[in-house]
Amino acid sequence: MTSRRAFLQRSGLIGLGFVAADALATSERLLAAVPGLDPGDPEVPNEEVARILKDLFGDRPIRKGHLTLDMPVVAEDGRIVPVIIESDLPMTPEHYVKAVHLIVDHNPDPHLAAYHLTPAIGSVAIQTRIKMKRTTWVRAIVDTSGGDVWAAYAHVNVSLNGCG
Amino acid sequence: MAIGEARIRIPDRITRGDLITVNAIVMHPMDTGFFRTAEGKPIPAFFIRDVVVTYGGEQVARFEWTSGVSKDPVVSFTLKADKEAPLAITWTDTKGGVYRQTADIAFTAA
């Protein structure tokens, strides 16, 4: 005889299985929607981030490198989280970084800032302070005059929601 | 400080060709639209969305911001100091408020 508890446990497990399969399918679909990402990169968490990446970079590969994104591992106060973005890419009239995009995956407005640069800026060394809603991946992605796309990622644990 | 008050900090001594760091701050609430007052009234979104940097009248950078940038936004970036000319930053907010600050890039005698 199947006890009620065992039945519930089993159906619960089956339920979990469905949820997991569904989540897996969703993440695979989102990854497919952003063709440029490497398998080892932070998963694209939702349609909005997928759309932002697609709109900005199309089908171009988004490769890790030439860029550092310095952020705290733990942000006590999500209202003020320091960000430092630096790159060793050249800033000459022939080859330069056109734009730096800052994307915070789980913020209400994930595409937090875009910094459009010219060779007169001389280097990519941007510092600012941002708000973060909760623990998430942050993406700094640069677009170069030659069409190459370079990225750096940081995982930030947020203790206090800074977005309301 | 009042909304829109701004400061630009550049090095005291600059030689032609230096790569200098520019620090800028502007006073602004950067309201997201997600918070309420103590009385429960929603606070509408109100933030700086556009920042233009010119050097000798020429645009050298432009930033697009959202309310995700912290209150009283700070930004720092570099500039190739290759001419004696004013550096100007103009911040524009979502209510059409325009705030401007300048710093004169001048070279110290060698």
pLDDT digits (tens, 9 = 90+) for A129-158: 999 999 999 999 999 999 999 999 999 999
Residues B7/B100, Cβ–Cβ less than 8 Å: no
pLDDT at A6 over 90: no
User: Tens digits of per-residue pLDDT, B7-53?
Assistant: 999 999 999 999 999 999 999 999 999 888 899 999 999 999 999 99
Number of helices followed by number of strands (H, E) in chain A: 2, 9
Q: Is B1 a domain residue?
A: no
Which among A154, A60, A70 has a CA at the least distance from the CA of A98? A60
Chain A residue numbers touching B82 (CB-CB < 8 A): 120
CATH number of the domain enclosing A151: 2.60.40.2470
Torsion over CA: B66, A51, A119, A72 (sign): positive
Does residue B110 belong to any structural domain of this protein?
no
Q: Cβ of B80 and A122 within 8 Å?
A: yes
B86: CATH: 2.60.40.10
Q: Would you give the distance in Å from CA A143 to the centre of its chain?
A: 15
Q: How many structural domains is chain A composed of?
A: 1
Contact (CB<8Å) A114/B77: no
Least CB–CB distance from A112: residue in B69, B75, B77: B69
User: Residue B56: which domain range?
Assistant: 6-35+44-105
Chain B residues near residue A121 by CB distance under 8 angstroms? 60-61, 77-80
User: Is the CB of A164 inside 8 Å of chain B's CB atoms?
Assistant: yes
Among chain B residues, CA nearest to A100: B63
For chain B, what is the mean pLDDT? Answer: 96
Cα separation, B44 vs B41, in Å, equals 9
Q: B65, B53, B63: which is closest to B28 by C-alpha?
A: B65
Indicate whether B86 belongs to any domain. yes
B94 interaction partners in chain A (CB closer than 8 Å): none
Size of interface A-B (CB pairs under 8 A): 96
How far is residue A6 CA from its own chain's centroid? Answer: 41
A144 lies in some domain: yes
Task: List chain B residues with CB under 8 Å of A101.
Answer: none
Q: Report the domain count for chain B.
A: 1
Angle between helices A4-33 and A47-57 (to 10 degrees): 10
Locus of tokens 């103009």: B90
B76 in a domain, yes or no? yes
* Percent of chain B surpassing pLDDT 70: 99
Q: pLDDT value at position A34?
A: 74
CA angle B27, B31, B32 (to 5 degrees): 140
- The parent domain of residue A124 ranges over 34-160
